[in-house]
Amino acid sequence: EAGVAQSPRYKIIEKRQSVAFWCNPISGHATLYWYQQILGQGPKLLIQFQNNGVVDDSQLPKDRFSAERLKGVDSTLKIQPAKLEDSAVYLCASSSRGLIGNTIYFGEGSWLTVV
Amino acid sequence: QKEVEQDPGPLSVPEGAIVSLNCTYSNSAFQYFMWYRQYSRKGPELLMYTYSSGNKEDGRFTAQVDKSSKYISLFIRDSQPSDSATYLCAMSAGGGSNYKLTFGKGTLLTVNP
C-alpha cells in the first residue's frame, strides 16, 4: 500500500514570498490532516478535512495560510506571505475513518525554511 | 500550563536497557492516549494506543495510563539501537473524526550499541 505522498520535500524561500505544499493521501482515506511541526516541538494540527469539508481549522492562521482539498483526494497548503516563524516541517496525514479505530498515517513532511 | 508536558531529553541509554518515557497532561477530558515514534526526517508512526486507564503491552513496549495522576508512560524493554528516535505522546478527548490530537514536544532517545 502506497503511503502519504508529499512534495516538495524541501523548500527555502525568503520572507514575504509564497509557497505551496501538495499532499496525496492513502487511497480511500476520507480524513486528511495538515500539521505544523516546529523544530523541537510536537506536531500541531493546522486543518482537518473530512472528504471535501473542513472539520477543524481553528489553529490555521487564516490571514496567511490557506488549504483546499479538491474532489476529496489531494490537498494543497499555501502560505502567503511567509514569515520567519513559519519555518517548520509541514506534515500531511490521512486516515480512513478518523482518529480512533484507524491509524493516522503521516507523510515524510515538507521542510520549509524562511530566510 | 501547557495541555501536554513531555521532557524533551535527550535521553541516552546503553543497548539492552529499560527505557521509561513519560508525559503529564492537564486536560481531564483526555481519554485516548497514543505514543508515536518519529525517526529523523520522517513522519511520526503510531506505536501504541490505549483508552482510559490501564496497561497495554506489545512486544518490548508497554504503555501505561494513570488518569488519576494525569500521567502516561511508555516502557521499552531490551532497548535496541533501532529504537533510537523521537517519541511523541499524543492524546485526545474523543475517538471520532471531529476530535484532534494534542502532541507533547517529544523525547529524543539514543540507544548506544
- Place A1 in a pLDDT band, splitting at 50, 70 and 90: low
Which residues of chain A neighbour B93 with C-beta distances below 8 Å?
Answer: none
Which residues of chain A neighbour B8 with C-beta distances below 8 Å?
Answer: 40
Cβ neighbours for B48, distance < 8 A, ≥ 6 positions apart = B34, B35, B56, B58, B61, B63, B74
Name which of A16, A26, A6, A29 is nearest A77 in CA terms.
A6
Residues of chain B with pLDDT under 70: 1, 95, 97-98
> Which residues is B67 bridged to in the sheet?
none
pLDDT at B36: 94
Torsion region of A97: left, alpha or beta (phi above 0 gives left; psi -120 to 50 gives alpha) = alpha
Asked if A23 contacts A6 with a C-beta cutoff of 8 angstroms, the reply is yes
> Which residues is B85 bridged to in the sheet?
B109
- Place A13 in a pLDDT band, splitting at 50, 70 and 90: very high
Asked if A103 contacts A1 with a C-beta cutoff of 8 angstroms, the reply is no
Mean pLDDT score of chain A: 92
Question: Lowest-confidence range among A29-33, A75-79, B93-97?
Answer: B93-97
Region A94-109: what's the mean pLDDT?
78
Q: Would you say residue A98 has pLDDT above 60? A: no
Give the gap in angstroms from C-alpha A80 to the nearest C-alpha of chain B: 24
